[in-house]
Amino acid sequence: MGRKPIDADRRQKIVDATLNCIHKYGYQDTTVARICADAGLSTGNIHYYFGGKQNLLEEAMRSLLRDIRRKMVISLNEADSPSERLAAILRSNFHPDIFRTDICITWLHFWAQAPHTSELARLEHVNRRRFEQNLACEFMKLKGREEARSLVHQTVAMVDGLWVKKAQRNVVLTAEDAFNLVMSFVEKHL
């Protein structure tokens, strides 16, 4: 008889506690015990469903990636032109529910751990590839292949840089301001 699956509310509670603890303590000092205390659960629950801290980070990243993708799909459904679709793709990366200091800090820890863990490396690769392909598809409708490729690299670098900036303590950078900075760059090149 296998394990019974974890219900969605409990899974989200654990993911939120993981994000909160990484934000508070950093990845190195986040422990399963701290996550459990934050979530109000026993360590047995965490070990039973996830196995340990590394798997919790993976689950937190999967959850964030799903959130970004959901927001992007909603935005893309309302976009008609390639420039509107570019804005929709970028807006999903700067949605106020996602572009928050705690999430950006967790994302930095994710990036730092990805080169050392095959599953995190796979998640990072899939996410980056999807983001680049989505941007490239729309840029190529408006620009030549080489210019589109260059714009994708520059845009991704700007988005990544703004996420790093948002992860720094005492930085005031709203989701709307970050989105507008990137869109200003994109619009100048369209």
Identify the structural domains of the chain with CATH numbers, from first to last.
61-189 (1.10.357.10)
Q: What is the pLDDT of residue 4?
A: 66
Q: What is the pLDDT of residue 45?
A: 78
Q: What is the pLDDT of residue 133?
A: 96
Q: What is the pLDDT of residue 132?
A: 97
Q: What is the pLDDT of residue 60?
A: 87
Tokens at 116, concatenated: 């050392």
Can you list the residues of the chain whose pLDDT is less than 50?
none
In a 10 Å sphere around its CB, with 0-12 CB exposed, 13-18 middle and 19+ buried, how is residue 82 labelled?
middle
In a 10 Å sphere around its CB, with 0-12 CB exposed, 13-18 middle and 19+ buried, how is residue 57 labelled?
buried
pLDDT digits (tens, 9 = 90+) for 45-93: 788 888 888 888 888 889 888 998 999 999 999 999 999 999 999 999 9
Q: What is the pLDDT of residue 165?
A: 97
**What number of other Cβ atoms are within 10 A of residue 108's Cβ?**
18
Torsion of CA 136, 140, 145, 147, to 10 degrees: -80
Q: What is the pLDDT of residue 164?
A: 96
**pTM summary value:** 0.86
